[in-house]
Amino acid sequence: MTTQKIVHLVDDTTAGGVMRMLDHLLGLPGLADAADQQVMRVNRTALSFGRIDADVIVSHLTLSWRGLPALVTLRAMHPSARILHIEHSYTRAFTALNVSAKRRFFAMLRVGYALFDQVIAVSHTQANWLQERRLVNTAALRVIQPEVDLTDFRALPAPTGTARVIGAVGRLDRQKGFDVLIKAFRDTKQMDARLLIFGDGEEKAALQALAGDDTRIEFRGHCTDPIAAFAEVDIVAIPSRWEAFGIVAREALAAQRTVLMADTDGLRDMSHGTVVNGLQIKSWITAMEDALGKQFSAPTPAEAVYDGMDYATKWKDVFFNDGTPAPSGAVASFVANHQRAAV
């Protein structure tokens, strides 16, 4: 196979989690021989990104009406390139909580997605939504759950003894739902429990006000090393209001921490962890009190060493497979299961 040139489009607002996923993808040994990958920063509201010398162009951009002209130009200027889009942002819960003119929003997404050869969902739940809402042609839709290198997370010693420390990692933003977590934690009865919050953001002052004089709650500021953060905690809480995938859940499970997560969007893809219903203060109090008392049993042996080969294969498939593939078996069976469970 000859080396193909792949250009990833990101903009300045691209979230940290996306950049980490991209760093991992660029360094995947399984892709190195087949793909020459580059990252290109663009202004997504420009009229054009100019001519891009690439066989495959991968958009990591957030779609918007203002961003559509550039995507139309991109399609028109590169008729023979494969142009893919990875949907890192939009989900059902995002739409519910942030979009008032839903019809107009769906119209924008339909127009935007139609410009790509393939749209890649980051979770099965998100793909299910894209299909149910008829936003993407089924034949053009694929699911690839983002991966990062979990080796160091797996290497962390598993917690022992009684679970006592809860951690929350992420931007201090309305999306992450830490307000619910703090309110609920303040009402938990375990006085020796602690809640460590790793992250920074515009909600910091409001969250600190919510924490008030509860000395069990600590704000640790921006977290440069998630592994060090996980080392300090027994339980990882993810009370997100929306979450396209939720890589933190993967990392926490790899580190053998107890995971409490909201029943929303991509977090529904996780096969392990405790699901907490509906961002209710009461359900979070119950979930935390239950998890805090638990004794950790002997750690389960770590899984096989991660080599990223399966992940590389999935990407090779979308980068180099020109034909439109049949809808992935995973999506079909997920949708079928989901519908069965719902009956």
Partner 1 sequence: MPTASVVVPAFNVAKTLPATLEALLAQSFEDMEIIIVDDGSTDDTAQIAAQFASSPRIRVVTQANRGLAGARNTGIAAARGIYVGFCDADDLWVPHKLATHVAHLECAPDVGISYSGSELVDDDGQPTGVSQRPALQGITAARVFKRNPIGNGSAAVFRKAALDAIAYRPGFETQRNWVFDETFRQSEDIECWMRLALTTDWLFEGVPGLLTQYRVNAGGLSAALDRQLASWERMVTKLRPLHPTFFDQHEDAARAYQYRYLARRAVSSRDGKNAWALATRACVTSRRPLIEEPLKTIVTLAASAVLKALGPAPISYASRLLAR
Residues forming the site for partner 1 (CB under 8 A):
92-93, 95-97, 99-100, 102-103, 106, 129, 132-134, 174, 177, 179-180, 183, 241, 263, 277-281, 286, 342
**The two structure tokens encoding residue 113:** 């997605």
Check residue 257 and report its DSSP letter.
-
Please state, in angstroms and rounded to a whole number, the distance separating the CA atoms of residues 24 and 17. 11
Question: Closest CB to partner 1 among 177 and 226?
Answer: 177
Of 84 and 141, CB closest to partner 1:
141
Strands 235-238, 258-262: pairing kind: parallel
Minimum Å distance from CB 100 to partner 1? 5
- Min CB(34)–partner 1 separation in Å: 38
Q: How far is the CB of 97 from partner 1 (least distance, A)?
A: 5
Q: How far is the CB of 277 from partner 1 (least distance, A)?
A: 5
Nearer to partner 1, 135 or 248 (CB): 135
Tokens representing residue 170 in the block: 């992420």
**8 A C-beta contact, residue 130 and residue 106:** no
> Toward partner 1, which CB reaches closer, 24 or 204?
204
199/178 Cα distance (integer angstroms): 11
Residue type at position 191: M
What is the number of alpha carbons within 13 Å of residue 251 lying toward its C-beta? 27
Q: How far is the CB of 284 from partner 1 (least distance, A)?
A: 9
Pick the closest to residue 266 from 16, 17, 100, 11 (CA basis): 17
Can you tell me which residue has the tokens 């699901």?
Answer: 275
Cβ proximity to partner 1, 56 vs 93, nearer residue: 93
**Spatial separation of the C-alpha atoms in residues 163 and 80, rounded to whole Å:** 56
159 or 273: CB nearest partner 1:
273
Which residues in 2-130 belong to E strands, given as ranges?
4-10, 35-41, 56-59, 82-87, 118-121
Task: Provide, rounded to whole angstroms, the least separation between the CB of residue 178 and partner 1.
Answer: 11
